[in-house]
Structure 1
Amino acid sequence: MNKKKVLIVGGYGAVGRQIAQILHDRHPDLDIVLGGRSPEKAEHFESERVQTIIVNNNMEDPLLYISDNVSLIINAVNDLQDRLLLSAVRRKIPLIDVTRWTELFQQSIAKLMDKKLHAPVVLSSGWMAGTASLFAMLHSVSLQNVTVNINALYSLQDKAGPDSAAYMDRMNIPFHITKSNRSRLVFPMTDPVKVQFPNGYTTKCYRLDTPDHVTLPKADNIDSANFRISFDNKVSTYTLVGLVKSGIWKIISGDRFRSFRRSLLYNPGNGSTHHVLIDLKGQDHNGHWVEQRIAISDPLGQTHLTALGASIQAEKLLLISEDEPLAPGIYYPEDLPDVQMDTSFITNFFKQYGVLISTNVI
């Protein structure tokens, strides 16, 4: 890889620091800039290839202080007004964003529709920076009429940054899922499915709105995608379900009760394993129905799995030849071209960092 520079916005946070470490260790020729509002708060990084800079996504132009030689921007902190996104587009810098929940995700796409893009914009905000969608796509490419069911077990003892709690503010907002090109409105924390995770923990998982619902069905071979979640504390899970179902969660949905809502489910600990199950059902080339299950477990937790998801997306862009650059446009993590990569390469990438992955026919 030729000499390049990556700017990680939110580079001081739990996810950003891990992205920086992964890319730093894998690419000896890569320069890394950690961007944030308070560079003095950044933990010391013992490498002359790592610098810090002021990047504040609340500024009108968050990239005001960057130089012109940044090859790629990775955003790991909320960009609620799309200021960083549009600032990168104006500067023609490729961007990977891992922070947008579905409403903001769709808002960003709408804003980009009337912009002339000169570089790739990768909206990688699906579960764990698109890791779930990426594996779903990798294992379904030979199938047609595919239904994807993603189930996640979220540990309340896991490490987490404050932005990871934003989903709790959307528990009373219905969302659309797609099946066979038809859209249907569903509600969070409904339609439970009983799931046994790789650690043996059995629980009911409930619908949650994530961008995976939007991006996966855009593929020609995927009919529908569903995402469900449960917490590793059943009392917490059933309490949340009860509050949402009774309408109490809607009553306490304003800013006044935000700290109370987050106190129920956001008390991050020192770390815990994050589990994801991906069930695929589709037809093979003979028309036979095939069912597969991909089990993913990261002992270092959801922030680590998110960092790995962002890093593999970055690596795809960084390895693209400058003689044949990726066409400008909006991309999702599961449809980026696999430059020098295949299923085994990507699987081994995650396994190299301790992620446990297994694939079985159901």
Structure 2
Amino acid sequence: MVGGYGTVGAELARLAAPSWPLLLTGRTVARGEALAEETGARVERWDLTGPEPFRAGVRAVAGVVNDPDDRVLRAAIRGGVPYVDITRWTARLQRAATVAALRGPTAPVLLSSAWMGGVSSLVAAALAEELGGAETVDIAVRWDLKDRAGADSVEFMDRLGLDYEVTEGGQRRTVMPLSDVRRVRIGPHPTKVARIDTPEQFTLPLALGTATATTRIGFSSAASTSSLLAVKRLGFFRWGRGERFTSARRALLYAPGEGGTARLRIDVTHGGRSRTATVTDDAGQAHLTAVGAMLALRRVLGTDGAGAPRGVLFPEMTPVPARVPDLLAEYGVQLESGTA
């Protein structure tokens, strides 16, 4: 596990420790020592910003920290080791998929950076299985500002000044972040949500043939959502780009609390029918992301009820979509589904 003792990494380590022996890596070994003792893991230093090579005899590699130069990806491919990554925004996922495809990996490469470690895509695949396809997928996220969060969890704030491509009606078009505001009921909460750039909007049309894929985000505080939209209207995310304003951008949302509830809603339509599902994790966003990463590890290792895959893949390419509700339930994640 690269970045194995951050906020999400620690959650994943606790989930994975009963199944496999773990090696946790990061820049500061001392930060991982308590978690290593708790989980029975080893901990070693690997600074992804440095030139030093790193080698280890492992069964799989999970990237839970940003890998901007694809060092972890390249090392896993070079070693013929199954690889899972949950950290990439869309452009970096596109590059990683290209790098992996050109290198012809002999072990699976699962790029599971869709929302919450690929959970959004897994649920979309499960609903698509019920309907026989997925013409449209709409995902609405409720971000709980009271929840625990790592510093990288609000990295998407750095992308709010950049237009991005989506697929709508089978055509590619460019949209603005925080546009197309809607009010959606996510669990018991009516939530104002707006567009955000997430990888599943790129991968769902490729993997499921989705003609329209949209992800929007809103916050547990209506005032925070309104403030963010107001700042966007003032053009802050355009003129406030670059490293100079990074701390100011992230401070708009990064105020981690003691714990909250992770919720998202997925709506899928196909052939005139529709299905909706609400995902709830009372253990919070970091835990739900770790569950996504855990299911990704099980996929590349072939321990999720199907054989291990080959090549480059995305979470919605699961061969066992009907098992997704049960797989989530194993880790305490609730999935309520019905007609939209």
Give TM-score scaled by structure 1 length.
0.88
**Structure 2: which amino acid aligns with 1:41?**
R
Aligned length: 336
Q: 1:146 aligns to what? A: 135
Inter-partner Cα distance in structure 2 for 1:48 and 1:130: 24
Inter-partner Cα distance in structure 2 for 1:48 and 1:277: 33
Match runs of 1:215-254 below 5 Å: 215-254=203-242
Shift of 1:156: 1.2
Tell me, which stretches of 5 or more residues in structure 1 are unaligned?
Answer: 1-7, 284-288
Q: 1:24 aligns to what? A: 17
Once the two structures are overlaid, the 10-residue window that deviates more, 297-306 or 82-91, is 82-91
**Larger helix proportion, structure 1 or 2?**
2
Inter-partner Cα distance in structure 2 for 1:292 and 1:337: 20
Inter-partner Cα distance in structure 2 for 1:267 and 1:115: 40
Inter-partner Cα distance in structure 1 for 2:96 and 2:134: 29
Q: 1:331 aligns to what? A: 313
Contact 1:36 1:56 in 2 (8 A): yes
Q: 2:298 aligns to what? A: 315
1:157-178: per-residue Cα shift (whole Å, max 9, x none)? 1111111121001101001111
Larger radius of gyration between Structure 1 and Structure 2:
1
Q: Given the alignment of the two structures, is residue 193 of structure 1 paired with residue 182 of structure 2, yes or no? A: yes
Aligned counterpart in structure 2 of residue 302 of structure 1, from 278, 285, 298: 285
Inter-partner Cα distance in structure 1 for 2:74 and 2:68: 12
Indicate how the Cα distance of structure 1 residues 190 and 48 shifts in structure 2: closer, same or farther if over 3 A, else same: closer
1:180-209: per-residue Cα shift (whole Å, max 9, x none)? 4310110100001211121x2212210000
Which structure is richer in relative contact order (CA contacts within 8 A, separation 6 or more)? 2
Aligned counterpart in structure 2 of residue 162 of structure 1, from 146, 151, 160: 151
1:96-125: per-residue Cα shift (whole Å, max 9, x none)? 000001111112223334323221111000
**Structure 2: which amino acid aligns with 1:19?**
L
Inter-partner Cα distance in structure 2 for 1:100 and 1:81: 11
Q: 1:54 aligns to what? A: 45
Tell me, which stretches of 5 or more residues in structure 2 are unaligned?
Answer: none
SS in 2 for 1:219: helix
Q: 1:275 aligns to what? A: 263
Q: 1:359 aligns to what? A: 337
Q: 2:327 aligns to what? A: 349
Q: 1:40 aligns to what? A: 30
Q: Given the alignment of the two structures, is residue 86 of structure 1 paired with residue 77 of structure 2, yes or no? A: no
Contact 1:171 1:189 in 2 (8 A): yes
Identical positions, percent = 32
Contact 2:5 2:35 in 1 (8 A): no
Inter-partner Cα distance in structure 1 for 2:147 and 2:293: 19
1:321-353: per-residue Cα shift (whole Å, max 9, x none)? 9xx7532x2110111433xxx524x31232233
